[in-house]
Structure 1
């Protein structure tokens, strides 16, 4: 018997996975991911980085086009619609996170919705087709991340959404396009040459481009494979191939289709309650617990955060919203000062508040040897010493929203409402919730894009809604 290469086994899984592999648990979890991703993407269309990338993408024209979420008058070629929608999803670092560490949905969902608008409508592409392709894209990312011990920890060199996300995007597009197994393999090979982005651009406006480019480049890889472009047939087997991104890459042939179980069936996703680096969510919960001991008249003398040593989230005095989203210190001080964290917490006026700066001066970080930079095992302790000498300490091992403690359905839907109502009218918001909740039964998945491009009625911002949501989930 001739053993398959790792690359060939991936192509076999991409081509061969069917709706029979989508268990009830996988369907439920992936629908929650889709709803949350649509919400943070719609909210992200209000950001500066989204508007900059949209202006860039407008220079491209095509005979076929796809919608930009929440902007009914703006259409772009499918690759660039996927690009700007992917940027929107990650523009506030509000999108879902998996383990090993990556943002799995942002590179995949924009591709499938862009394609759903331009593919021939006979036969129509169903919601179940979309769910299957979405899960293929998620699965490929998860399997690749499990091939490296380095990938288990919070990344130091490459940002995973632009590494595994690019291949997940290509795999999802290949499945959605119905590519033959050989062309699925070629899509993987092409995508590897599109992959990679350095962590040095974390906490800048460039970081959201990693998700957008993963979506765009994965789609391009699948389209180039469709046209016959060829790459290395063992790209996932080689240290000089995909292994170039990881120093301890040990790929394995995937299980056979007959006994295949999707990773999403085994592990849930982390859904964020506020738009910041996942590691800061442990800090927020621990700080919220400490705050319950404090009186309005108490004066804080010293704040100690016992967190893993993650250099790009160690930002003592963040100067921008993007740096604030990647600051253990800022999240702790904001929670202690306000008792909640929301989208508005990262506005320029809030980041530069004198009260926040005064607290930031009092923060110290400590790194215990047992507190590894790993989203599955890390913990946070927040210790507050008052001027009267009293000290209060609280610890968070698993925050609400982590895959071990997922958001309940009501809080997930409330988050979606708060995010999407900044862009869409209420009937479209409720329509999307209903459509996603029964997505496997919808005959034409373009219903989603119809709702996503509904014109928004003039309205005030949803600051009140966001504050109510944040207050509820931190209580």
Structure 2
């Protein structure tokens, strides 16, 4: 079938995908790092009740057993459903990496989709091919996010993540520019998910990541089958930058295509919204749990986006999704225990209420920033009982490329995620070793077999409900 029409900015992306970009060495190294990170948080995400609920529902829909569910035992689902499940598991604990300039969590949608797509097709996909595809997908997702100049109305990690995932799979499938354009376009036709779920801290927030992954897989398969979408889906009268994003600086952002944006992703050292991490990093640097008995007040002065995302009331009955995005709650947890763990967001832990008093001392207010997407700099002020005020200006929170997480802490995070679902150290170590030699794997099936861990028990799931 022939699909005619004028090309626009989307053609640039399509040509980039079809050009078989070879990521530079630094990007390939970062890809291995963030693939391991994403697998760790994705395995840990299997412990949450709504992850188990979604898996039970997906199994009832049945279909071709094409792709693995991470920590789902021997369960195999159609590739779109497996991608949805694994993407949700990556994002559902707010522990997945983020491209801060783009305000996009690219790996959740890109990796889950690419792995599911690769498993669904008979041709073996090598580890090097997966790295190339993931780098391509992150490149597209990040550039689309960086080109967005207005405040978010739709959930950008889902919208830009889906388009990045389509790029990754189009790369894996070897699509030419024409078919790649329609893979992106048909993905755009299925975009959705507003910021309302984020505002309310609803369970639907990580589901929007899952929907994005599912729809991207379906769109690429449709494009491979010859179906067509609108060509001007980015800049047309009703295109992405008219409806989903307000305005944009596409020309400047597009210059970054091929620069290796995956190397500019930030780790998340804490299982909470990235917008809380400057607060947590600052508290640690100013004394951490040693401050607990001395703190009279903690004040965070931050860009409006940060205030909008994490200045929330802390209550003992708030849902986990709200708690992960609540600066007073996560700050109180750090003051109490010197860190923040995935288990701190289980409902029973929130209901304990031992955190309420220190949380009442933490406030967030907006400073003066013109950029509605700015996440930094931030300033933390800690007023002690004796009247001393300790302050710190934070340009880059821990985990950013300019303030990186050490390799030891990266591995510590992965093993903590693995332990949260009962995965023994030796079994977790095999996953680490396999990802570290991903460039040399002839078939990623060697990796995906290791991800088919026994399903989390119903008792463990209910304990987190």
TM-score above 0.5, yes or no: yes
Tell me, yes or no, if structure 1 residue 277 matches structure 2 residue 253.
Answer: no
Paired residue total: 445
Aligned-residue offset at 1:370: 4.5
Tell me, yes or no, if structure 1 residue 177 matches structure 2 residue 173.
Answer: yes
Runs of 4+ in 1 over 4 A off after TM superposition: 253-256, 292-297, 370-376
Q: Within 5 A, what are the aligned runs for 1:18-33?
A: 18=21, 21-33=22-34
Distance (Å, rounded) in 1 between the aligned partners of 2:252 and 2:380: 41
Residue 351 of structure 1 aligns with which residue? 350
Q: Is the 1:372–1:378 Cα contact (8 Å) retained in structure 2?
A: no
Residue 79 of structure 2 aligns with which residue? 78
Q: 289, 301, 319: which is aligned to 1:306?
A: 301
Distance (Å, rounded) in 2 between the aligned partners of 1:262 and 1:296: 44
Tell me, yes or no, if structure 1 residue 434 matches structure 2 residue 433.
Answer: yes
Aligned-residue offset at 1:70: 1.4
Residue 138 of structure 2 aligns with which residue? 138
Alpha-carbon deviations, 1:95-120, whole Å to 9, x = none? 00002101000001111221222211
Alpha-carbon deviations, 1:312-350, whole Å to 9, x = none? 311122412211110111122222222221112222233
Aligned-residue offset at 1:8: 1.7
Q: Is the 1:303–1:362 Cα contact (8 Å) retained in structure 2?
A: yes
- State the TM-score, normalized to the length of structure 1: 0.87
Q: 104, 112, 115: which is aligned to 1:113?
A: 115
Q: 179, 182, 186: which is aligned to 2:182?
A: 186
- Deviation larger for 173-182 or 23-32: 173-182
Residue 50 of structure 2 aligns with which residue? 49
Distance (Å, rounded) in 1 between the aligned partners of 2:351 and 2:388: 29
Distance (Å, rounded) in 2 between the aligned partners of 1:254 and 1:324: 34
Q: 394, 397, 406: which is aligned to 2:395?
A: 397
Q: Within 5 A, what are the aligned runs for 1:237-252?
A: 237-243=235-241, 244-252=243-251
- Give the match's secondary structure for 2:396: coil
Tell me, yes or no, if structure 1 residue 209 matches structure 2 residue 211.
Answer: no
Alpha-carbon deviations, 1:348-373, whole Å to 9, x = none? 23323343212233333332214966
Distance (Å, rounded) in 2 between the aligned partners of 1:296 and 1:270: 28
Tell me, yes or no, if structure 1 residue 264 matches structure 2 residue 258.
Answer: no
- Give the match's secondary structure for 1:71: coil
208 and 445 in structure 1: CA distance in 2 versus 1, 3 angstrom threshold: same
Alpha-carbon deviations, 1:285-336, whole Å to 9, x = none? 21223336956754x4433232333223111224122111101111222222
Distance (Å, rounded) in 2 between the aligned partners of 1:296 and 1:455: 40
Residue 364 of structure 1 aligns with which residue? 363
- Give the match's secondary structure for 1:323: helix
- Deviation larger for 25-34 or 400-409: 400-409
Q: Which runs of 5+ in 2 are unaligned?
A: 1-5, 461-465
- Deviation larger for 62-71 or 104-113: 62-71
Q: Is the 2:303–2:376 Cα contact (8 Å) retained in structure 1?
A: no
451 and 375 in structure 1: CA distance in 2 versus 1, 3 angstrom threshold: farther
Alpha-carbon deviations, 1:222-243, whole Å to 9, x = none? 0111112111122223241111
Tell me, yes or no, if structure 1 residue 291 matches structure 2 residue 287.
Answer: yes
Alpha-carbon deviations, 1:393-439, whole Å to 9, x = none? 34433222112112122211221111123344434321211111111
376 and 306 in structure 1: CA distance in 2 versus 1, 3 angstrom threshold: closer
